[in-house]
A and B are shown apart, each in its own frame.
Chain A
Amino acid sequence: MIELIGITVLWIFLFGYLIIGSIDFGAGFYSFYAKITNKKHSIRQIIDRYLSPVWEVTNVFLVFFMIGLIGFFPDSAYYYGTALLVPGSVALVLLAIRGSFYAFANYGARESNIYLFLYGITGLLIPAALSTVLTISEGGFIVRTSGDVHLLLLELFVNPYSWIVVMLAIVSVLFISATFLTYYANKAKDKDALLLMRRFSMIWSGPTILLSFLVFLTLSTHNEAHFQAMLDESWIFLLSLVSFVLALWFIYKQKYLGLAFTFVCLQFGFAFFGYGYTHLPYILYPYITIFDNVTSPEMGITLIMAFIAGLFLLLPSLYLLLRLFLFNAEYVQGK
């Protein structure tokens, strides 16, 4: 029971990071794009207005997932920790550059193109780096020889599946972010920005769905068991596809844009939870499963109780944040 609650909580937080992080990462890229193409678009103001109050919250989702993983499944700290020193450190440096340069560019004294460039480009590199952990979790890249755990970095680098996952991560970021900003621009009653972000939503929708299929197909060559499990639960992925079609339809028609973004979340939600559900019981093929490597019941129950107590604190706070900034028409319109 503890292992199921634990992995569910962690997966929900990772999904939260996927959505909120994607909006943030993509927004950074669009902001940079608007700057270099010299579009005197108000899109950058819109992005700033959304990002300024919430950027700090994004990172916490990721840290929460990592700490929770160690708490519920301590052995994963050993395997992933040993194997991921190099890619993990690279991702950390990218996160560091992004976080600090956002603050420098935003609160610092003057706008610098270098800061904006670093901020924009890391927005694409970070999801690329982080997505490789999902690839690694499929097995075959972390090996245990005579007690020592190693990552086969070269194999990972020349593996087609790993590159398709990376590409999917990047286009998903651009797609999720564009659909959210379409909705936000509409709330801000900014027609120019709305049309620009709508165009980006349409542009990235094709690659997103195409690459999703490719990931699905190439998984069969890489992890047959997981692929089979996904086929058995194919209804979840069909729901994801239906949500995608509905979202795209509303965006195309420029109607119900809030609902459209909700469908985008559902699209990724179904796919992400379907992927995670069929990945079970493995956290890392074939070494770590949620049943064999779960923490002691004492610790597990304490963590769950702490989590519930924490939610009572967090949910009202998050609600307040959203109410004051995201769902406040005056704020969104910059009044």
Chain B
Amino acid sequence: MIDDPVTLSRLLTFITLGFHIILATVGVGIPIFISIAEFIGIKKKDHHYILLAKRWARGYTILVAVGVVTGTIIGFQLSLLWPTFMQAAGKIIALPLFMETFAFFFEAIFLGIYLYTWNRFKKPIYHWLLSIPIVIGSSASAFFITTVNAFMNTPNGFDVENGVFTNIQPLVAMFNASMPSKMSHVLTTAYLTSAFILAAIAAFHLLRNKSHQYYKKALHLTMIGCFVFSIATMINGDISGKFLAKYQPEKLAAAEWHFETEENATLLLGGILDPDEREVKFGIEIPYALSILAFNRPSAEVIGLNEFPEELWPPLYIHYFFNIMIFIGMFLAAVSFIYLVFYYFNRFNSLNRWLLRAIVIGAPLAILSIEAGWIMTEVGRQPWILRGFLMVEDTATTSNHVFAMLVLFSLLYISLAILLPTILIRLFKKKDAEKELEEHHVIL
């Protein structure tokens, strides 16, 4: 394995992306909440919300700095590890890659301005306006990059004649079939995950018996975000399932261990597969549910894996990642729903310690679910890198040095993974919110 460039390139891409997507996700999601908090603070003349926006922005900056770094790495690594793929992709899907750099450029400029102009404007609303380009820029980056990933799943917008790509239509390639479902799922889950991380911070402080209004406001604001975006995530998650059933049936079938094409298909949760007999043990089966997930009709026919040659099957272990993603999604929706019920019905205490604990656990779970979702969709595309056109094994670098690079980057990510949380914690401990609230008593 140490001298197989394909496996090693996959592994290196996996750890780079596995690390980067966490930062990318919060990089896309947090600006919205900074912007909302500042807006509420200005409108209500409530300096708690302003401080909230300030402190979030401070942590966000460090996360973005490291996210820029890992994003630059994956940008270059695609060419370094998958030169043949990028040669082909450059011909067809270069447009969104190119536009992504613009979107990021835009975001970077305004983030720089936003951070250093808190007290530069006579009217605070002018400062708030600067947050809009950050929100637009970060979400647009996510949009453009996701179209490239969607293109890898459902390539479109070109013809192949004698092994050469012709009749290239960049916009058709960009707006390919999986773009809408992927894009909406990526964006809402990024907002959801970020909301849960921010909520968990507030819940954590409340659990440690800090009772300042500041934390309660932070918790309430972010829990509303959690609820809204978990509903949105469930809806577009369902759309994604229907998309797969229609355009990438082998991925859905592999995720569901669904071998025979049949009507009234059963949804499978968990379980252990006997690979020879194709029998599932210990699984929970929900009748008709897969047909409903796939086509909204209990009697609908769902295509099974046996329709495809076995060498083109995605690895069957994606079933577990698919399940993890769904379970966590349900958990997050339930927690935010219960919180809101408790909050608006006075009979219950929305600051119940068990509920707060569930919110704190929600943050790492949300990140886990992002990872699981990406593994499910990327591994579910195997063995293709460009579905139907290019195989992963034919596009990797032929260099003998991938293993050394794998070690090099692993060391880098390990040190960043240790330093990043340490520095964030130290930064916020040095100056806690209560102290800052005293200092900035009259801000508006």
Do they bind each other? Answer: yes
> Known interface pairs A85-B402, A88-B76. Does A108 touch B171 (Cβ–Cβ under 8 Å)?
no
Whether B62 lies near A104 (C-beta < 8 A) is: yes
A107 to chain B minimum Cβ distance, whole angstroms, is: 5
Question: In this complex, what residue of A is CB-closest to B431?
Answer: A109
> Known interface pairs A56-B65, A100-B416, A317-B109. Does A299 touch B92 (Cβ–Cβ under 8 Å)?
yes
Report the separation of the CA atoms of residues A57 and B401 in the bound assembly, to the nearest whole angstrom. Answer: 32
Surface stretch bound by A, among B66-74, B299-307, B318-326: B66-74
Report the separation of the CA atoms of residues A314 and B97 in the bound assembly, to the nearest whole angstrom. Answer: 17
The answer to whether the Cβ of B272 comes within 8 Å of any Cβ in the partner chain is no
Question: In this complex, what residue of B is CB-closest to A105?
Answer: B423
The answer to whether the Cβ of B112 comes within 8 Å of any Cβ in the partner chain is yes
Whether B58 lies near A60 (C-beta < 8 A) is: no
Surface stretch bound by A, among B113-121, B200-208, B248-256, B330-338: B113-121
The answer to whether the Cβ of A324 comes within 8 Å of any Cβ in the partner chain is yes
A91 to chain B minimum Cβ distance, whole angstroms, is: 8
Neighbouring B residues of A54 by C-beta, 8 Å: 112
Question: In this complex, what residue of B is CB-closest to A317?
Answer: B109
- Complex partner residue of A53 from B95, B99, B113, B412, CB under 8 angstroms: B113
Whether B97 lies near A71 (C-beta < 8 A) is: yes
The answer to whether the Cβ of A86 comes within 8 Å of any Cβ in the partner chain is yes
- Complex partner residue of B106 from A63, A92, A149, A317, CB under 8 angstroms: A317
B262 to chain A minimum Cβ distance, whole angstroms, is: 43
Surface stretch bound by A, among B31-39, B77-85, B273-281, B285-293: B77-85
Neighbouring A residues of B100 by C-beta, 8 Å: 67
The answer to whether the Cβ of A148 comes within 8 Å of any Cβ in the partner chain is yes
Whether A81 lies near B397 (C-beta < 8 A) is: yes
The answer to whether the Cβ of B125 comes within 8 Å of any Cβ in the partner chain is no
> Known interface pairs A54-B112, A96-B70, A299-B170. Does A74 touch B398 (Cβ–Cβ under 8 Å)?
no
> Known interface pairs A60-B101, A84-B80, A108-B62. Does A70 touch B112 (Cβ–Cβ under 8 Å)?
no
The answer to whether the Cβ of B196 comes within 8 Å of any Cβ in the partner chain is no
A86 to chain B minimum Cβ distance, whole angstroms, is: 5
How many A-B pairs with Cβ below 8 Å? 215
B156 to chain A minimum Cβ distance, whole angstroms, is: 14
Neighbouring A residues of B414 by C-beta, 8 Å: none
A14 to chain B minimum Cβ distance, whole angstroms, is: 13
Whether B61 lies near A85 (C-beta < 8 A) is: no
Neighbouring A residues of B420 by C-beta, 8 Å: 100
> Known interface pairs A64-B101, A81-B79, A298-B168. Does A56 touch B90 (Cβ–Cβ under 8 Å)?
no
- Contacting B at CB under 8 A, from A138-196, are 148-149
Neighbouring B residues of A81 by C-beta, 8 Å: 79-83, 86-87, 397
Count of chain B residues with a beta carbon within 8 Å of a chain A beta carbon? 74
Whether A63 lies near B101 (C-beta < 8 A) is: yes
- Contacting A at CB under 8 A, from B166-211, are 166, 168-171
- Complex partner residue of B170 from A67, A89, A92, A302, CB under 8 angstroms: A302
Report the separation of the CA atoms of residues A74 and B91 in the bound assembly, to the nearest whole angstrom. Answer: 6
Whether A107 lies near B58 (C-beta < 8 A) is: yes
Report the separation of the CA atoms of residues A72 and B1 in the bound assembly, to the nearest whole angstrom. Answer: 35
The answer to whether the Cβ of A313 comes within 8 Å of any Cβ in the partner chain is yes
The answer to whether the Cβ of A202 comes within 8 Å of any Cβ in the partner chain is no
Question: In this complex, what residue of A is CB-closest to B399?
Answer: A85
> Known interface pairs A59-B68, A63-B72, A310-B102. Does A89 touch B108 (Cβ–Cβ under 8 Å)?
no
Chain A, residues 245-262, CB within 8 Å of chain B (1/0): the string is 000000000000000000
9 tightest CB-CB pairs across the interface, nearest first?
Answer: A74-B90, A103-B65, A71-B94, A81-B83, A81-B79, A53-B112, A310-B102, A77-B86, A56-B108
- Can you spell out 16 A-B residue pairs with CB atoms less than 8 angstroms apart? A55-B112, A57-B108, A77-B87, A78-B83, A81-B81, A81-B83, A85-B402, A86-B401, A89-B80, A96-B69, A99-B69, A108-B426, A295-B91, A310-B105, A320-B109, A324-B113
A contact set with B: CB distance below 8 Å: 52-57, 59-60, 62-64, 66-68, 70-75, 77-82, 84-86, 88-90, 92-93, 95-97, 99-100, 102-104, 107-110, 148-149, 295-296, 298-299, 302-303, 306-307, 310, 313-314, 317-318, 320-321, 324-325
List 12 additional A-B contacts (Cβ < 8 Å) besides A81-B80, A81-B82, A299-B92: A52-B112, A56-B65, A67-B100, A71-B98, A86-B405, A92-B73, A95-B72, A103-B61, A104-B423, A108-B423, A295-B94, A310-B102
